[in-house]
Structure 1
Amino acid sequence: MNAETSPRSLDRVAADAAQLTQAYRAPEILRVVNVWDAVSARVVAELPGTAAIATAGHAIAASHGYGDGEQIPLDLMIAAIERIVRAVDLPVTADLDGGFADAGETVRRAIGAGASGANVEDRLRPFDESVALMRAAVEAGEREGVPFALNARTDALIRGGDRPRSESIADAIERGRAYLDAGATAVFVPAILNAEETAQLVAGIGEQRVSVIGLPGALRAAEYEALGVARISYGPMPQNVALGALKALGADLLADGVLPAGVEQLNNF
């Protein structure tokens, strides 16, 4: 697969967005292994079964020496997304954190970089403000002529604090329905979700409308698929695993080790 040498046209991004939405709607769960740069995107894109590329905002920030939570300058984030888009020939959905203070403008710039979808976080802002945030993201795509595949993230569970879990589930459902009404393609509810909670979310938000994260302790992708979940992603965990492997290898080499036999060359462009 050859890297692209020019930006994607709006027609191509629109086609990618339609393809991405179709992948969300399919009964088979959309499995995305999150990436953080061009070479990680290339490696994942070449794996059989990869239908789309998803960036991890935390991982991109870390690769540039920044912490999570919009500490990385937006220009750097957009540039990283564009490099990832150019490295692959698949739809790319970007992690845009909380919208970088202007979700509409940030989505417009992401589309210009070739992204056909994105995660945008509500960060448990007030309800009306959160709905307006998601609507702004969707409308930005409409102005560009792109049916942007917004995976609207609600932090109702991970920022729920001490309130009962049932209240957080109910909040996620209320917010999720509102985000879909605002034009979102799916609703991302990050948390370690058991089968009962997942079934409640799917019943309340809709089949093939809920997106989850695969953290240690979560269900298997096939189990989420059977419950009607649209997408599973893994956030910064793939980068964590890669860095852990690098750390272990480095320690071995610094202790007078040798490279294992049969090391595969993966980073050639």
Structure 2
Amino acid sequence: MTDIVNTVISGLSLGATYAFMALAFALIFSTTKVFNLAQAQFLVLGGLLAHTLLVERDWPWLLGALLILPVVAIIGFVQEVVTIRPIKVGYNWILTTLGASFLLQAGFAQMYGAEPYPVDSFVGSTAQHLGGIRFVPSQVLAGVAVLVLVTAIELFARRTRPGTAWRATAQNRDTAATLGINTRRIVTMVFLVAAAVAALGGILTAPTTYASAYGGDLISFMSFLAIAIGGMTTTMGAVIGGFLLGLLEAFSLDLIGAQFNLVMVFTVVLAFLLVRPNGLFYAGESRVV
């Protein structure tokens, strides 16, 4: 039983990274129907900047985070203006956001190189033991943080006037505009928030995964699987999908080992999508959260 509990904790800890990225992806997709392929680079940037400020310059953790989040949010906004806003019709955003991802990754590699870097956590990243149960405080913090964050986003969407405007924009952007909603402002807000969410994920998960300029590719792909499981149009579903994917990866690692771990994960996810192609929590056209 202890082994199962440890596997569950490991899976949820791994799933926290996917949950942060899936949440960022879902925020943008549910609002604009654009899958921003550069989004994972903001998680990478959050981790790299955390290394620079918290490790190299020894800044207080909270001060560093308070600087990193708005900086990355602004970069996310600039990326939207340059690579997404000019696209009026079609799917050319696939090429422009993919190009932005490559450019950002190349810039990170030029500044930091290819090696992974350590990042400090104010709750500690050394494994702790409670009886036979093993956990890492920084991983627990990341999991709790993403759950609190998605709950706050859900409450904002349902209980505030800007949240209502956001949901209206997500449901039908043209109709929302005719009702007097500034949809451009809503989209800008979403891209700022999504970039900050990804950056926060990088800050909180890097203490155990390390920060690397090339860390975004696999996370991006796995997070796409996470939102495919949970549903692309629902933020809570995306987060749940991230945790479920982490559990699946942890249990498959225990069952068949690292060599065929990802093969089993992909097989199970593909089989699931054959049954539920829209994910567990598909919001449909009449309800977008």
TM value normalised by structure 1? 0.29
Calculate the TM-score normalised by the size of structure 2. 0.27
Select the structure that is richer in strand: 1
Higher-helix-fraction structure:
2
Higher relative contact order (Cα pairs below 8 Å, separated by 6+ residues): 2
